Amino acid sequence: MQIADDVPPGLTALDRPNSYIGRSVPRPNLARLAQGRAQYVSDVVLPRMAHAVFVRSPHAHARIKHVDTAAAKKAPSVIAVVTGAELAKVITPWVGVLTHLKGLKSAPQHAIAIDRACWQGEAVCAVVARTRAEAEDACELVEVEYEPLPAVTDPETALDPKTPLIQPELGDNLCFERKLDAGEVDKAFAESDAVVETTFMFGRHTGVCNEPRAVVADWNPGEQRLTVYHGTQAPHMMQNLFAKHLDLAEHQVRVLTKDVGGSFGIKVHTYADEMATVALSKLLKRPVKFVADRVESFVTDIHARDHRIKAKIGVKNDGTITAFEIDDLTGIGPYSVYPRTSGIEANQIVNLVGGPYTCMNYRALARVVFMNKNVMCQYRAVGHPIAVAVTEGLVELAAAKIGMDPVDLRRKNLFADDAYPAASAAGLKFEALSHHASTDKLVKMMDYPALRTEQQRLRGQGICRGIGFASFIEVTNPSAAFYGVGGAKISSQDGVTMKLDAQGSISCHTGVSEQGQGAEAVIAQVAATAFGVPMERVRVVMGDTDNTPYGGGTWASRAAGIGGEAAWQAGKALRQNVLTAAGSILQARPEALDIRNGIVIDADTGNERIGLDEVARVCYFRPDTLPPGFQAELMATRHYVPRAWPFAFTNGIQAAYLEVDIDTGFVTLIKHWCVEDCGTVINPQLVDEQIRGGVVQGIGAALFEHCLYDERGQLLNGNMADYLVPMAAEMPDIECGHVVSPTADSELGAKGAGEAGTAGAPASVMNAINDALRPLGAAPLTDMPFTPGKILRALGKV
């Protein structure tokens, strides 16, 4: 890592006196959130605000023959009833493609369906009324005449010639296809001592946010400006898209994102109903609010996963992995989601399978097909949980087949810790990973040998426990390679503007945003450290396109690594500016000064020279006393984007320890471990909680969560009783450990940590279940989520 020039040798820039880097500082927004003083979009109430509710298609696929709005228009308090055709006069449709995903295609999607509804839950008409309740009443009066059309719901037959086309103008139901062939796969399999082949299934699921999607749009015709209060992860991206599709300039649109009650990737997309709400505000010239209710969330919040992967691994008897091969098929919705597309997850899987290992023979095919089901897009850890489960599932099956300990087999094949820079078979570039150090640490944390002994002992008593591992790599800190190069106006760079106020505190305006994960705290820690004030004297301003530098927001584990570095650089720059001013006041050389604990000091002796308040006072109120020609600049802006590497890969390994009740098929999670390497750890507690929360969502995928569709495209369990989110009582203790390999692309050296937990948890749970059941002769379970019924069937009990 780069050593900044202003610190003594042996220490890094991060070790400045009173550094907050590496400390579990309580997050500044804690009290506000805990006292119920947060401001979520649902809390926003504006004068003359109306509520939008959508009539949604009960059919997975139907022609909309007629929409009769007459009765609804007469209902109490109704302001407007608007069909898709009417709204299309104010808002243009969009197409979710990226040019770097070659061949990816999709059809124009409208804010409200016009001729056809293509999934159960798609909005077909909007009702705007003074209250949500009255709008819902009026919705029941809208009469839609549908002609049901055959629904395409099975990915396996989506490409058959006799399957109806969801978007006839596209010519087929294929959204995207990618092939990769690296090394000599056939030869490698032929030369293997053992080959394991199986099919993995990953159930469709979704990210259930505490706060549902919400938007309040306020078009002010007097100002010709649109203000959108939006629970989004990417305010600037949405500013651009609202402008583009409402025929406005970006400067006419302000997106305000205050508190967001969780997002997990769900809130980084363009949603038809949110776009419609914004268009309704423009149409009606008044504020309009839409807050998705829980039931509509299940049929409209993006779904994810839903992959069928035929997979194959070859090994030598000494444990050397010879080749990987996968054939991935995934059924998305009727449209590729805008603007990030529904092709990224499959693309990521192709990229990531085999990623931790040195094996260079790898073949992959991925096909993404349209379905008449809810749309699919990026959800926490995009593709990783699947790629990791496939890779690690194969690795443990291979280890079992050749009779080798699964940890030993990994050690034999993981990239060596001194092998970097390195590249994977799929061409991923690694700057510095620590697979072996992480594995060693994990094995020690869990006391692996003792655990195996305990497992054996309990097996004698008929208790069936399993240990499963998952090594992983994780994409973080994305450069423009993710979206920008594909033509999407999604910023990978981010900026921070820092300014000194008249009393010597700083405000720190950043383009990254807070979703509850603690980005605000991390930015404050970095800013306070870089500039030299206590954290109480830092105010972070985020989520306001009028008042923050242009930036990407929060996704792909980027806020700390990218936003943090921008804050670091801005803090250094402002410190320099303030010291120049102080030097001018004190008649001292700025280089001989520093700022510590909010006071300008002599860098050498630490002697206090002048308070920041005094510097600010002179610069703001008595600039006449400064030398002629000197202009103080008590505000600085810096931007950062990773340039040396397309992504800052992190790595890690997880282990699950669990018990299977072989009578009931129920799984009890006993303990979970995760060691990961996100580079510089800015706030250990926040990192650990990111890992833990991520692990829990991964466990959800492995055991509980599943959007169940029937063959007609009806979602069967779209409510909180039937869709099982993982809950605290069923979760194990999750112990976290860290290895630190900072990225040299930034001075801060921080990589992302938001998705590592989700990436590895499903694989480790799956492997642990199979480890538990293997001695009983059960066929390996590879079909997530692992319900009691599936386990009982594997055991031959039903």
Partner 1 sequence: MKPAPFAYTKARSVEHAVELAGRDGEARILAGGQSLIATLNMRLSRPTLLVDINGLDGLDGLALKDGAVEIGALVRHAQAGRSDIIAKNAPLIAKAIPHIGHPAIRNRGTIGGSIAFADPAAELPACLVALGGEVVIAGGRGERTVKADDFFTGLFETELGSDDVLKAIRVPAANAATRIGFAELARRHGDYALVGLAAAARAEGDGLADIRLAYFGVGATPVRARKAEAELARGALDDAVAALADDLDPPDDVQETGAVKRHLAGVLLRRVAKQLMEGRQ
- Residue ranges that bind partner 1, judged by CB under 8 A: 132-133, 136-137, 140, 293-295, 663-666, 704, 708, 716-717, 719, 721-722, 724, 726-727, 729-730, 787-789, 792, 797-798
352 in Cβ contact with 473 (< 8 Å): yes
Q: How far is the CB of 797 from partner 1 (least distance, A)?
A: 6
Q: How far is the CB of 212 from partner 1 (least distance, A)?
A: 10
Q: How far is the CB of 700 from partner 1 (least distance, A)?
A: 11
680 vs 697, beta carbon nearer partner 1:
697
276 in Cβ contact with 125 (< 8 Å): no
Q: How far is the CB of 155 from partner 1 (least distance, A)?
A: 21
Q: How far is it, in rounded angstroms, from Cα 498 to Cα 549?
A: 10
Report strand pairing: 174-182 vs 123-129.
unpaired
Residue 722 CB neighbours (<10 A): 12
201 vs 586, beta carbon nearer partner 1:
201
Residue carrying the six token digits 């399993």: 466
Both tokens of 708, joined, read 């169940």
Q: How far is the CB of 728 from partner 1 (least distance, A)?
A: 9
Q: How far is the CB of 772 from partner 1 (least distance, A)?
A: 18
Concatenating the DSSP letter of every residue in 164-207 gives PPSSGGGSSSEEEEEEEEES-HHHHHHT-SEEEEEEEEEEEEE-
List all residues 6 or more positions away from 465 whose beta carbon is below 8 Å from its beta carbon.
Answer: 454, 455, 458, 459, 657, 658, 659, 660, 670, 772
2 vs 664, beta carbon nearer partner 1:
664
227 vs 787, beta carbon nearer partner 1:
787
Sheet with strand 648-660: strands edge to edge: 464-476, 648-660, 667-677, 733-738
Distance of CA 484 to the CA centre of its chain: 17
Both tokens of 578, joined, read 């303030």
Q: How far is the CB of 294 from partner 1 (least distance, A)?
A: 7
Judged by DSSP in three states, 397 sits in: helix
Both tokens of 746, joined, read 């930034």
Which amino acid does the sequence have at 93? P
Which residue, 342, 226, 222, is CA-closest to 274?
226
Q: How far is the CB of 303 from partner 1 (least distance, A)?
A: 16
34 vs 729, beta carbon nearer partner 1:
729
Residue carrying the six token digits 């030993």: 408
Q: How far is the CB of 551 from partner 1 (least distance, A)?
A: 35
Q: How far is the CB of 729 from partner 1 (least distance, A)?
A: 4
Q: How far is the CB of 618 from partner 1 (least distance, A)?
A: 58
Residue 80 CB neighbours (<10 A): 19
Which amino acid does the sequence have at 615? V
Q: How far is the CB of 136 from partner 1 (least distance, A)?
A: 5
Q: How far is the CB of 205 from partner 1 (least distance, A)?
A: 14
Q: Phi, psi (5° rounding) for residue 143?
A: -105, 115
646 vs 726, beta carbon nearer partner 1:
726
25 vs 135, beta carbon nearer partner 1:
135
Q: How far is it, in rounded angstroms, from Cα 265 to Cα 382?
A: 9
557 vs 787, beta carbon nearer partner 1:
787
131 vs 224, beta carbon nearer partner 1:
131
Q: How far is it, in rounded angstroms, from Cα 31 to Cα 44?
A: 20
Both tokens of 664, joined, read 């009931």
Question: What does DSSP assign to residue 379?
Answer: -
644 vs 727, beta carbon nearer partner 1:
727
Q: How far is the CB of 788 from partner 1 (least distance, A)?
A: 7
List all residues 6 or more positions away from 774 whose beta carbon is below 8 Å from its beta carbon.
Answer: 400, 780
Element (H, E) at 62: strand 62-68
249 vs 729, beta carbon nearer partner 1:
729
Q: Which residues are bridge partners to 174 per DSSP?
A: 369
Concatenating the DSSP letter of every residue in 239-283 gives HHHHHHHTT--GGGEEEE--B-S--TTTTSS--HHHHHHHHHHHH
Residue carrying the six token digits 């805990």: 34
241 vs 702, beta carbon nearer partner 1:
702
132 vs 499, beta carbon nearer partner 1:
132
200 vs 786, beta carbon nearer partner 1:
786
Q: How far is it, in rounded angstroms, from Cα 129 to Cα 416?
A: 63
